[in-house]
């Protein structure tokens, strides 16, 4: 595998994956990205020009995706509309990009007989009760709650159907919540860090007891690279790093790490249909493919992320006011 097509490679996790590939491998990469509000060219700055190129285009258009797939060895498919709150305001781009876009990629890899890795989320499984001793496994039934997670669930089902019906060479991964550099400030952790930098109190939806299972984006990248190289065609792998924390704990940790009082936050209107808890059992990936996460210490990973947002104010500041105004209009 020498030439990879990385869809959504100018977004948060996709760009971290491209950086990972440049550090850890010799592959050449074409990023295909529509450059939506969530993308950033800066995230790809400084990468070797002879190994990385950017094509601006829409995965939902067959005449864009098909010739690109033809000239690459494999596709790693990150491109998506990714924010639950946006999917509650307007689901339509989620259906187009996440479902129709994945369909077009599947048709192209089918036609050209290329390897595909499809990047998905643990949210396809719905949520767990706080006291449930079980975690999500590859056998957990799908039960998505939001338009975002339902669109990702639909895309996963399409991939499995193309594997079974047409023999497409694809794998699927479902990962838990990522944190790290280049995450859009609409998302929970960067929103609260940039709020504190700007003297705004962090905003916690509802009671804040909702649990997310945090993993550093670099660990997600190493897992995807492992699956691409060692994964069995047709198989699904859950990716997680045993990072369960409730939102209240995360807000208090951000405040403390940033020198503020731990109670200097506001409770705001809860998200409609807000999933209570995600938790990943990643034993299959660890035991069968030998993967292990490197970032075991959430507090120090979060401290690095805070420092990154402090040092990249030019990057996120232009979007900050509009993001906060949109949340404020919904009481969030
Ligand atoms: P993101 O919103 O930061 O980036 C998505 C990228 O896809 C952007 O660069 C955007 O421009 C691009 N894109 C959107 N529509 C497109 C289209 N039609 N054609 C081409 N490009 C398009 O999202 P992210 O957080 O980096 O998530 C990347 C992938 O990882 C998604 O598939 C998401 O479901 C999955 N995932 C995310 C998380 C998380 O915690 N963020 C966890 C598990 C899985
Ligand atoms: O201001 C906020 N206050 C708050 O309490 C925001 C933006 C969020 N929250 C809560 C909602 C969630 O319980 O924080 C938690 C995390 O919220 P998000 O960052 O929006 O992430 P989540 O909805 O859990 O989804 C994320 O992880 C799974 C990604 O956005 C998805 O793309 C991925 O599939």
Taking only the tens place, the pLDDT of each residue in 311-325 is 999 999 999 999 999
- Could you give the C-alpha distances from 251 to 85, 123, 146, 225, in angstroms and in order? 19, 21, 23, 31
Q: Contact 178/222 with Cβ under 8 angstroms?
A: no
Stated pTM of the model: 0.98
Mark whether 142 is an active-site residue.
no
Structure tokens at 58: 């829409």
Mark whether 205 is an active-site residue.
no
The CA radius of gyration of the chain, in Å to the nearest whole number, is 19
Q: Contact 53/45 with Cβ under 8 angstroms?
A: no
What is the atom index within ligand 1 of the atom nearest the CA of 152?
34
Q: Contact 233/170 with Cβ under 8 angstroms?
A: yes
Q: What backbone phi and psi angles, to 5 degrees, belong to 238? A: -85, 135
Ligand nearest to the CA of 207: 2
Whether the ipTM is more than 0.95: the answer is: yes
Which are the contacts of 299, defined by CB distance < 8 A and separation ≥ 6?
Answer: 253, 257
Separation of alpha carbons 220 and 17, rounded Å:
8
Separation of alpha carbons 145 and 156, rounded Å:
15
End-to-end CA distance of the chain: 45
Q: How far is the CA of 260 from the centre of ligand 1 (A)?
A: 32
pLDDT tens column, 92-108: 999 999 999 999 999 99
Q: What 3-state class would DSSP assign to 267?
A: strand
pLDDT of residue 238: 98
Separation of alpha carbons 214 and 223, rounded Å:
14
Mark whether 123 is an active-site residue.
yes
Pocket residues for ligand 1 (CB within 6 Å)? 7-8, 10-14, 33-36, 38-39, 58-60, 78-82, 97, 101, 119, 121, 152, 175, 177-178, 184
Which are the contacts of 46, defined by CB distance < 8 A and separation ≥ 6?
Answer: none
Q: What DSSP string runs through 233-249?
A: TT-EEEE--S-EEEHHH
pLDDT of residue 1: 86
In this structure, whether the domain defined by 3-179+215-239 belongs to CATH 3.40.1190.20 is answered with no
Q: What 3-state class would DSSP assign to 82?
A: coil
- Residue numbers in the chain where pLDDT is lower than 50: none
pLDDT of residue 329: 97
For the chain, what's the residue count? Answer: 332
Pairing of strands 236-239, 203-205: unpaired
Separation of alpha carbons 111 and 103, rounded Å:
12
pLDDT of residue 267: 98
Separation of alpha carbons 172 and 231, rounded Å:
9
Residue of the CA atom closest to atom 27 of ligand 2: 177
Residue in 122, 188, 186 with CA at minimum distance from that of residue 152: 122
Q: Where do the structural domains in the chain lie, given as residue ranges?
A: 3-179+215-239
- Could you give the C-alpha distances from 140 to 16, 144, 150, 205, 273, in angstroms and in order? 28, 12, 15, 27, 20
């Amino acid at each position: 595998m020498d030439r990879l097509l990385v869809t959504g490679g100018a977004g948060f996790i996709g760009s971290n994956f491209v950086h990972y590939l440049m550090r850890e491998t010799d592959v050449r990469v074409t990023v295909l990205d529509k450059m939506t509000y969530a993308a950033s060219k800066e995230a790809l700055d400084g990468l070797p020009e002879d190994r990385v190129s950017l094509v601006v285009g829409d995965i939902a258009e067959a005449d864009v995706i098909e010739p690109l797939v033809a000239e690459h060895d494999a596709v790693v498919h990150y491109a998506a509309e990714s924010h639950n709150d946006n999917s509650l305001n307007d689901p339509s781009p989620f259906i187009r990009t996440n479902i129709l876009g994945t369909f077009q990629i599947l048709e192209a890899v089918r036609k050209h007989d290329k390897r595909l890795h499809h990047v998905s989320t643990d949210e396809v499984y719905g949520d767990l009760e706080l006291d449930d001793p079980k975690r999500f496994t590859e056998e957990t039934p799908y039960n998505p709650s939001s338009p975002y997670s339902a669109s990702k669930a639909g895309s996963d089902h399409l991939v499995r159907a193309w594997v079974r019906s047409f023999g497409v060479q694809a794998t699927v991964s479902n990962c838990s919540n990522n944190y790290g550099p280049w995450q859009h400030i609409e998302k929970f952790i960067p929103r609260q860090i940039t709020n504190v930098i700007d003297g705004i109190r962090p905003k916690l939806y509802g009671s804040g007891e909702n649990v997310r299972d945090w993993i550093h984006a670099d660990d997600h990248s190493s897992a995807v690279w492992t699956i691409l190289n060692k994964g069995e065609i047709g198989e699904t792998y859950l990716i997680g790093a045993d990072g369960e924390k409730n939102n209240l704990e995360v807000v208090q940790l951000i405040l403390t790490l940033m020198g503020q009082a731990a109670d200097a936050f506001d409770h705001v209107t809860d998200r409609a249909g807000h999933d209570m808890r995600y938790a990943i059992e990643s034993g299959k990936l660890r035991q069968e493919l030998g993967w292990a996460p490197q970032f075991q210490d959430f507090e120090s990973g979060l401290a690095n992320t805070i420092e990154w947002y402090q040092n990249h104010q030019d990057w996120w500041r232009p979007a900050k006011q509009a993001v906060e105004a949109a949340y404020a209009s919904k009481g969030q």
